[in-house]
Structure 1
């Protein structure tokens, strides 16, 4: 899960957001394994949301002539996920990172693409806030979701 540079074209930005969605989906596997009950259900719901967004982007980019990045067989996680605390910490990072990619889509898009990007950014920010709250992290919100820290 590496940092990115801000793309300058809508297709490039959407392709980068798709790659971030792929990585988010992958990360929720190790996250979910370390959670139980309601937290595990939340992880499944988050993964499903990322899968839905991925599917919509794949369809949009493949029919619109945009560049479709390949999904990787695996992704490097920023740290080992060995318990509930590390799973929750990774969930927060996944949502913050994915939000950053969607935030980068905003200045290079208009219309429906910009609306989709804003909705995705908002969804990620809300999930990150929920994960912070579940983990007992304060503050639970950040002033500018998707901004690199």
Structure 2
């Protein structure tokens, strides 16, 4: 039987997972920025910058917890080819959903300042996903419970 990780180890593991999600998001927004419509290009740039800032903050948090921040991969596999602005918008929403999921795990694992920062990041990702998708989800960050919001 494998021993359950300590709360500190759970928080560090969740922070590393959120850091990995931020690395992937930054990569994805590079693709999105190249394919986004002119009307949404600024939104893509702002999201990219936000992910870089969160990535850097998470790397500092991981170091403060005694860990070595996970490095970015040289490249990431995209779920589909991004050819059009519509593809870019769909990818942006999916990226934000994944980021929200990682921060949801961090909210559950952390406490104090890191938990508050993770909750803020979860909220920001959920708002960006809703903007890209045009509709929000009932439980952002909990994909197993998420269902598109009903519109009337």
**Deviation for aligned residue 1:30:** 1.0
TM-score normalised over the length of structure 2 = 0.86
Where structure 1 has 5 or more consecutive residues not aligned to the other structure, the ranges are 1-6, 134-139
Aligned structure 1 segments of 4 or more residues deviating by more than 3 angstroms: none
- 2:96/2:126 contact within 8 Å kept: yes
**Deviation for aligned residue 1:70:** 1.4
- CA distance in 2 between counterparts of 1:28 and 1:95 reads 10
- CA distance in 1 between counterparts of 2:36 and 2:27 reads 16
TM-score normalised over the length of structure 1 = 0.87
- CA distance in 2 between counterparts of 1:75 and 1:92 reads 17
- CA distance in 2 between counterparts of 1:83 and 1:142 reads 24
Where structure 2 has 5 or more consecutive residues not aligned to the other structure, the ranges are 1-6, 145-152
- 1:11/1:67 contact within 8 Å kept: no
Q: Figure out how many residues of one structure are paired with residues of the other and give that number.
A: 137
**Deviation for aligned residue 1:37:** 2.4
Instruction: Pick which of 30-39 and 16-25 moved more.
Output: 30-39
> Does 2:101 correspond to 1:83?
no
- 1:24/1:50 contact within 8 Å kept: yes
Counterpart position of 1:143? 138
Task: Give me the CA root mean square deviation.
Answer: 1.5
Q: Greater CA radius of gyration, 1 or 2?
A: 2
**Deviation for aligned residue 1:67:** 3.7
Higher relative contact order structure (alpha carbons within 8 Å, sequence separation ≥ 6): 1
